[in-house]
Amino acid sequence: MFGELKISFVAIVDNSNNMVSSFGTRIWHHQNFVNSLLKDKTCIFGRETYDITQWKGNKSWVLTTDPNWRRSGIGTISNMEDVRLFSEDDEVFVLGGKSLYYELKDYVDTLYLYVVNNNEGTVPWIKLDMKLWNASEYHANKIWSFAKLEKVQKKTRKRIKG
């Protein structure tokens, strides 16, 4: 579907694996990471995430099925495949949203997962099958944790002609 395009997903959940949709709890590391992405990376948001955060960047797009939805300073796309029309990057960062994750779960290569050590989340998120992911980076403190998870690549066997 996306060819060589790498899909990286960024999400914040609480200890109960609920999405922290209100962003009432801020994680400085997450905010700095998102700000660095917004500077020059292609970023896709769901409409609800955009409405909550108002994040904008030079290469930011809101994915929405509503053809009349428009906001100043942010592009809109109606299909994830449309991102190929607007981006020359080889990696796209998808910021937040359970529905976006479910739409893209088979294509996500990297997951940047922030866990807030509380139970303020309101939207149940996905259950990850950890056999499919390797942690390549991890940080933790008393308030939050972070893991960069890389999808395990399936090994293919080469046939020996003989």
Residue 98 sits in a domain whose CATH number is 3.40.430.10
Report phi then psi at 157, rounded to 5: -90, 140
Average pLDDT score over residue span 98-115:
86
Residue 158 falls inside a structural domain: no
Instruction: Give residue-wise pLDDT tens across range 73-98.
Output: 898 998 888 887 777 888 999 997 77
By mean pLDDT, which of 8-22, 35-49, 86-100, 148-162 is the weakest?
Answer: 148-162
CB 41 within 8 A of CB 147: no
Rg over CA atoms, the chain: 17
Q: Do the domain assignments include residue 10?
A: yes
**Domain tally, the chain:** 1
**H or E segment to which residue 100 belongs:** helix 98-104
Rounded CA separation 129/133 (Å) = 7
User: 94 near 100, Cβ under 8 Å?
Assistant: yes
Q: In this structure, is residue 33 part of a structural domain?
A: yes
Task: Determine the structural domain holding residue 44 and report its residue range.
Answer: 6-144
